[in-house]
Structure 1
Amino acid sequence: MLKLEGVSKTYKVGAFARQDLAAVRDVSFELRPGEVVSLIGESGSGKSTIGRMILRLTSTTSGTITFGGKDIATLRRGALRDYYREAQGVFQDPFSTYNPVFKADRVLTMIRQSYFPDVGDADWRTRVREALAAVSLNPDLVLDKYPHQLSGGQLQRLLIARALLLDIKLLVADEVISMLDASTRIDVLNLLADLKERGLAVLFITHDLSLGNYLADQTVILRRGSIVERGATAEVFGDPTHPYTRTLLSSVPRLGERWTDTELEHGPCRYHQLHPDGTDPAGPALAAVGDDHFVACFALGEDRKCGQP
């Protein structure tokens, strides 16, 4: 349904914009109906930039993003409007999405004005109640409130209800629970799992490995704008191959254990074991190390030798 092929994003920085900053480099992966893909990486790895490019909030420098076989960069006016009917995003800070001088239900009213101007009042109220029920919200407790009167979890679920009103096929969830308390996080995670069961595709952008492991079918590990490892979540977490992935997993706190900063042995580069000729530009960006498990050269994006055999 959603396919990224060789997507890169470069920003002009510095005095007179003379320098290039590569935020995303040659990223390729797919997202299918009813599938959750976790995009995992540290801050500054390019995760949110990828989400914004998928939602056409930022343009790509090179590569293509297709949705339903159509290149989203070519969409204009009515076609772009139709795209947003099927693809929506929910972001990290729910409070920034709302205008504090308007009541929270304005985000739903704007959807009606843009996409359902001919729907009657009674029918619209029914649709709103059904969408709110799907995200476990009571209309009487949220619709007549200002944003500051609602919790972050309520505001996030209200945004997801807005997306459900459009009957979307793709949800880009960018750090949607990082600002929520622990008791609310599980509610939002379970909601995303329920939406997945209904056939909704979810790109779950996070820096939290445990959350990605809990929710995702596929996992993409991003470092400095490049994919270093991707595949089935069970494979990536059960047999991490890239040193960066292993470093991330070793950094997860464990109950009853004192965390220590240990140096991991990288060993020989798995990419070069499978592709002895090196990272030929015409060759594959990732090497298959399993049935649904791929890894990049260990030195990808770094000025050092990768330890190839």
Structure 2
Amino acid sequence: MKGNNVLIEGKNLTKVFGFGGNKTTAVDNVSFAFHEGEIISIVGESGSGKTTLAKLIMGLLKESAGTIEYMGKPRRLKRHSDRRKYWKHIQAIFQDPFSSFNQFYRVEKLLLDCIKLQGEKLTKEEQLRRMKEACSFVNLKYEELHNKYPFELSGGQMQRLMIARIFILHPKLLIADEPTSMVDACSRSTILDMLLKLREENNMTIIFITHDVGLAYYVSDTLYIMEQGKVVEKGPAEEVILNPKHPYTRQLISDVPKIHSEWDLA
């Protein structure tokens, strides 16, 4: 379902933390081009720079060097109105769902805020219908949750609620940073299915940030392999996994027996 149009493009992105002799280069001269409807996985071990790159794309961190273009135009995030407009189209699901919600807001307000971000003027009945639809999409019952606070929900319910927010917002780009790391295998599969269904229905671009080579291989069109802030290999998922060029990529694959056996047989 990958389209020909480039949705977001990064050119020579660098992010340096610290000053003087205490500098750390978390992202080092990284370039990318992500297309409409494409599923990309940025893969690397802890400390590889993949989450920092995700935060640069989200606009949560400012790049030290390089540029990002969104829909063919330089991205502008200086004003609050610019950021609000950008975040209307670009959303994220993070590893820890509890840190993503205001713990003092009930579920109803969390979902209503998403509807308000869309800027549509809806009646209370229409707002309620949207919230019920979103909960139903992720197999939750709005009637059972709307009056609860995030800390009253399980980790699996919180992850589903985050996807319900995405259902309401219909972003063009979703960044999913280790979205299934805190749930069991059954819930993991369900959450991935929900995200892929959203992609099919909305032609949404999804960027998975993960250390899980198996997940990356099975869901992605394109892989970017990161090591120590650099992209050391990139290309179609099957090509990267079955014919890896870089030693680091080979090392990652060797840690996943199922993929490793496929690679040996290729």
| Deviation readout 1:88-132 (Å, 9 max, x if unpaired) | 111000011223333233321222444447321011111122222
Q: What does 1:57-72 align with in structure 2 at a 5 Å threshold?
A: 57-72=60-75
1:211 aligns with 2:215: yes
Residue 53 of structure 2 corresponds to: 50
Residue 268 of structure 1 corresponds to: none
What code does the residue aligned with 2:209 have? I
Q: How much has 1:191 moved relative to structure 2?
A: 1.1
Please identify, of 84-93 and 96-105, the stretch whose mean Cα deviation from structure 2 is larger: 96-105
| Larger gyration radius, structure 1 or structure 2 | 1
What code does the residue aligned with 2:24 have? L
What code does the residue aligned with 1:3 have? E
Residue 227 of structure 1 corresponds to: 231
Contact 2:112 2:131 in 1 (8 A): no
| Deviation readout 1:161-214 (Å, 9 max, x if unpaired) | 212222211001111111111111001111111122120100100001111111
Contact 1:56 1:72 in 2 (8 A): no
Q: C-alpha distance in 2, partners of 1:200/1:160? A: 13
Q: C-alpha distance in 2, partners of 1:18/1:220? A: 30
| Deviation readout 1:118-170 (Å, 9 max, x if unpaired) | 32101111112222233232212322222233221221121122122222110
Out of 31, 54, 64, the residue aligned to residue 28 of structure 1 is 31
1:251 aligns with 2:255: yes
Q: C-alpha distance in 1, partners of 2:195/2:116? A: 26
Gaps of 5+ in 1: 258-309
What code does the residue aligned with 1:88 have? Q
Residue 15 of structure 2 corresponds to: 9
Please identify, of 52-61 and 111-120, the stretch whose mean Cα deviation from structure 2 is larger: 111-120
Q: C-alpha distance in 2, partners of 1:76/1:163? A: 24
Identity %, equivalent residues: 38
Out of 189, 195, 198, the residue aligned to residue 186 of structure 1 is 189
- How many positions carry a matched residue from both structures? 253
Q: C-alpha distance in 1, partners of 2:258/2:11? A: 37
Q: What does 1:144-293 align with in structure 2 at a 5 Å threshold?
A: 144-198=147-201, 199-253=203-257
| Deviation readout 1:221-247 (Å, 9 max, x if unpaired) | 000000000000010011111111001
Out of 93, 99, 103, the residue aligned to residue 100 of structure 1 is 103
Q: CA RMSD in A?
A: 2.0
Contact 1:38 1:212 in 2 (8 A): yes
Contact 1:65 1:73 in 2 (8 A): no
Residue 143 of structure 2 corresponds to: 140
Contact 2:172 2:205 in 1 (8 A): yes
Under a length normalisation based on structure 2, what TM-score does the superposition of the two structures give?
0.88
Secondary structure in structure 2 of the residue aligned to 1:126: helix
What code does the residue aligned with 1:23 have? A
Q: How much has 1:254 moved relative to structure 2?
A: 5.2
Residue 297 of structure 1 corresponds to: none
Q: C-alpha distance in 2, partners of 1:246/1:226? A: 16
Gaps of 5+ in 2: 1-6, 262-266
